[in-house]
Structure 1
Amino acid sequence: MSYELIAILMFSTMMLMLMTGQRVFGAIGAVAALGAVFLYGTGGVEIPFSAAIKLMKWYPLLTLPMFIFMGYVLSESRIADDLYRMFHVWMGPVPGGLAIGTIGLMVLISAMNGLSVAGMAIGATIALPELLKRGYDKRMVTGVIQAGSSLGILVPPSVVLVLYAMIARQPVGQLWLAGVMPGLMMATMFVIYIWVRCRIQPHLGPVLPPEERNVPMAEKLRLLRAGLLPLAIFFTMMFPFINGWTSLVESSAIGALTAFMAAVVKGRMTRAVFETSVRQTLAITCMFMWIILAALAFGAIFDGLGAARALENLFVGELGLSPWVILILMQLSFLLMGTFLDDTAMLVIVAPLYVPLVAGLGFDLIWYGVLYTITTQIAYMTPPFGYNLFLMRAMAPNDVTLADIYRSIIPFVAVMLLALTLVMVFPQIALWLPEMVYSK
């Protein structure tokens, strides 16, 4: 059996196992282990073992539990509630102001947690009922929450970019910094769209009535201080890192400790909050470690088979496609896979093929990590099986139908495609900040 046929067999077997509902790390790891034994005999057991040792030696992996713990402490201690109350008071007089405030909430939640699911859960439980109660259009608000929550995998500290860094062997710090400007640009584009749309059609996002806007300035300032606490924690963590005073791991420890102390000072660090935060941190960290381990083993087999080189020869040599056409085809494949897979599954399935191919075509792997993440955000919201679509349906009231949710994301997907195009055409949007910081 030829190596090309073995590679196709491994890939198709893995896809079949994933489609049957198997856990991502189990499907990928099992195919990798069986492929290693089939190709190399009993010596093949060294490949998963080598992947495990490589994983344990990867020092930046320590950032993963630190940032996840920080996010859960801030969300479980209800500091996110203070954030939304702040946006409610300060943005209420603006057309679509509460929806704009929800985008701001999602950006800060992303900076606290790094997971799309966390932003979706907080937005659906805190923002959605308030927006619907105040007469906001249900399609507008469900689209806002889905689009805003997707920022969690782009704005640092992004857990998905940690996974990409491990598989692509790129610095986590540079990837996180590369996600800052595209993430803020996309959030700004969402805000502009909401404001313009609500100016043209005020019934979609009415301003708050005067009795709710007439809040004493002292109360507004108090809410501002409480609401900006997560932002202060984020800058306390990132400022020394950007200035080169601390490593990324040290900054993550500062963030986790600062969040913990903030919850203690506010009197919200109860036993239940601490236990939930620790349990969730352990569960998510272990899940990602298993996925990375399986991906490394699978990637090692694919590298040995020369699948990446064969793919490059097919596109460049036999088909004669230009590097940019190949890149666009890869992005389209992510959009297709995003209709039935989550971001981690997409990455570990195609990274062994795409990352070497991207490097061989002469593209920057830090920049490509941002492109992958933005494309994943779009895939999260793409019917028929976009991940965020079903999360929103599970959390939304009964009068919000799946058809409403499908229609709600159309303008936001258009905005995200525009953002993706801008980052592709102007790579410095993503590369400027990491180049500036690391040049120091």
Structure 2
Amino acid sequence: MSHELIAITMFATMLLMLLMGQRVFAAIGFVAASAALLLYGQGAIEMPFNAAFKLFNWFPLMTLPLFIYMGYILSETRIAEDLYKMFHVWFGNIKGGLAIGTIGLMVVISAMNGLSVAGMAIGASIALPEMLRRGYDKIMITGVVQAGSSLGILVPPSVVLVLYGMIARQPVGQLWLAGAVPGLMMAALFIIYIAVRCRIQPHLGPTLSREELDVPMAEKLRLLRAGIIPFLIFFFMTGLFVMGITSLVESSAVGAASATLAAVAKRRLTLQIFHQTVKKTLGISCMFLWIILAALAFGAIFDGIGAARAIESLFITRWNLSPWEVLIMMQLSYLLMGMFLDDTAMLVIVAPLYVPLVKVLGFDLIWYGVLYTITCQIAYMTPPFGYNLFLMRAMAPKEITLIDIYRSIVPFVLVMALALALVMIFPQLALWLPNYIYGK
């Protein structure tokens, strides 16, 4: 059997298992182990051990459980809920103000968590019912929550960029900084769209009633303090790292410790909440570890049979595509896979093939990490099986149907596509900040 046929068989088998509902790490690991035994015999049993040691020697991986813990502790102790009350009061007199405030809330949650799931849970459970109760259009605000929650995988500290950094062998600190400006730019584009749309069609995002807006300035200032804690946590976590005072792992520990101290100071950290937080953190962290372990074994097999070089030869030599045409094809393949897989599965399946190709084409791997992440955000919201679509379906009130959810994402996907195009055309949007901080 030729190397090309082996690669196609492995890839097709893995996709078939995923479509049959198998867990991501089980499908990837089974295919990798089976192929290794068939190709290399008994010696292949050492591959998972080598992958495990490689995994545990990669110190930035220690940041994953700490960031996940930080996000859950802030969510479970309702500090995020306090933030929404602040946005509610300060933006309620603007048309579409609560929707704009929801995007602001999602940016803050993203900066404290690094995952889209936490933002989706908070937006669907806190922001969505409040906006529905105040007469906001259900289709628009459903899109707002989905689009805002997707910022979690782009705004630092992004867990997805940590995983990309491991697979692409790129510094996580530079990847975080590269995602900051595009992430804030995308949030700004969302806000501009909401403001313009609600200006043209005021019934989509009405202002609050006079009774709700009649809040004393002292109360407004008290609620404003709700934003101080997240800001301080983000400053101590990311600011100290950017200034070179703490390492990446130390900054994640600072963030986790700061979030815990904030919950204790507000007298909201009970033994039950702590137990639930640790349990959820352990579950998510172990899932990521198993997926990465399986991906390393799978990538070793693919690299060993020359699959990456075969794809390079196909795109560049046989099809004679230009570097930009190859890059666009790669992004389109992510969009296609995103209809069926989540971002982690896409990354561990395709990155071992694409990253060497991106390097050969002469593109910056830090910049490409941002492109990948934005494309994942779009894929999250692409029918028929976008990850965020089904999360929203599970969390949304009964009056929001699946058709409403599909309709809600159209304008926000277009905004994301615009952001992706801008970062592709102007790479400095992603590269300026890491180059400035690291003195390149």
Identify the TM-score tier after normalising by the shorter chain: over 0.9
Matches within 5 A, 1:50-89: 50-89=50-89
Matches within 5 A, 1:25-424: 25-424=25-424
Using the TM superposition, give the Cα deviation of residue 265 of structure 1 relative to its aligned residue in structure 2, in angstroms: 0.5
Could you tell me which amino acid in structure 1 is paired with residue 201 of structure 2? Q
Distance 1:229 1:223 in 2: 12
Using the TM superposition, give the Cα deviation of residue 170 of structure 1 relative to its aligned residue in structure 2, in angstroms: 1.1
Distance 1:257 1:394 in 2: 32
Q: 1:6 — aligned with what?
A: 6
TM-score by length of 2: 0.99
Using the TM superposition, give the Cα deviation of residue 3 of structure 1 relative to its aligned residue in structure 2, in angstroms: 1.2
Unaligned runs of 5+ in 1: none
Q: Is the 8 A contact 1:83 1:228 kept in 2?
A: no
TM-score by length of 1: 0.99
Distance 2:127 2:25 in 1: 34
Using the TM superposition, give the Cα deviation of residue 177 of structure 1 relative to its aligned residue in structure 2, in angstroms: 1.0
Q: Does 1:436 align with 2:423?
A: no
Distance 1:211 1:269 in 2: 34
Using the TM superposition, give the Cα deviation of residue 227 of structure 1 relative to its aligned residue in structure 2, in angstroms: 2.8
Which digits, 9 at most, give the CA deviation of each residue in 1:262-314, with x for residues without a partner?
A: 00010011111111111111111111011111111111111111111111111
Using the TM superposition, give the Cα deviation of residue 403 of structure 1 relative to its aligned residue in structure 2, in angstroms: 1.0
Using the TM superposition, give the Cα deviation of residue 171 of structure 1 relative to its aligned residue in structure 2, in angstroms: 1.1
Using the TM superposition, give the Cα deviation of residue 259 of structure 1 relative to its aligned residue in structure 2, in angstroms: 0.5
SS at match of 2:14: helix
Which digits, 9 at most, give the CA deviation of each residue in 1:354-392, with x for residues without a partner?
A: 111111111111111110110000011011111111111
Using the TM superposition, give the Cα deviation of residue 228 of structure 1 relative to its aligned residue in structure 2, in angstroms: 3.1
Could you tell me which amino acid in structure 2 is paired with residue 423 of structure 1? V
Using the TM superposition, give the Cα deviation of residue 98 of structure 1 relative to its aligned residue in structure 2, in angstroms: 0.2
Could you tell me which amino acid in structure 1 is paired with residue 311 of structure 2? L
Q: Is the 8 A contact 1:423 1:429 kept in 2?
A: yes
SS at match of 1:353: helix
Q: Is the 8 A contact 1:79 1:227 kept in 2?
A: no
Distance 2:66 2:117 in 1: 18
Q: How many residues align?
A: 440
Which digits, 9 at most, give the CA deviation of each residue in 1:135-182, with x for residues without a partner?
A: 000011000000000001111111111111111111111111111000
Could you tell me which amino acid in structure 2 is paired with residue 50 of structure 1? N
Cα RMSD after superposing both structures: 0.9
Q: Is the 8 A contact 1:137 1:203 kept in 2?
A: yes
Unaligned runs of 5+ in 2: none
Q: Is the 8 A contact 1:68 1:113 kept in 2?
A: yes
Distance 1:258 1:407 in 2: 40
Could you tell me which amino acid in structure 2 is paired with residue 180 of structure 1? A
Distance 1:57 1:235 in 2: 28
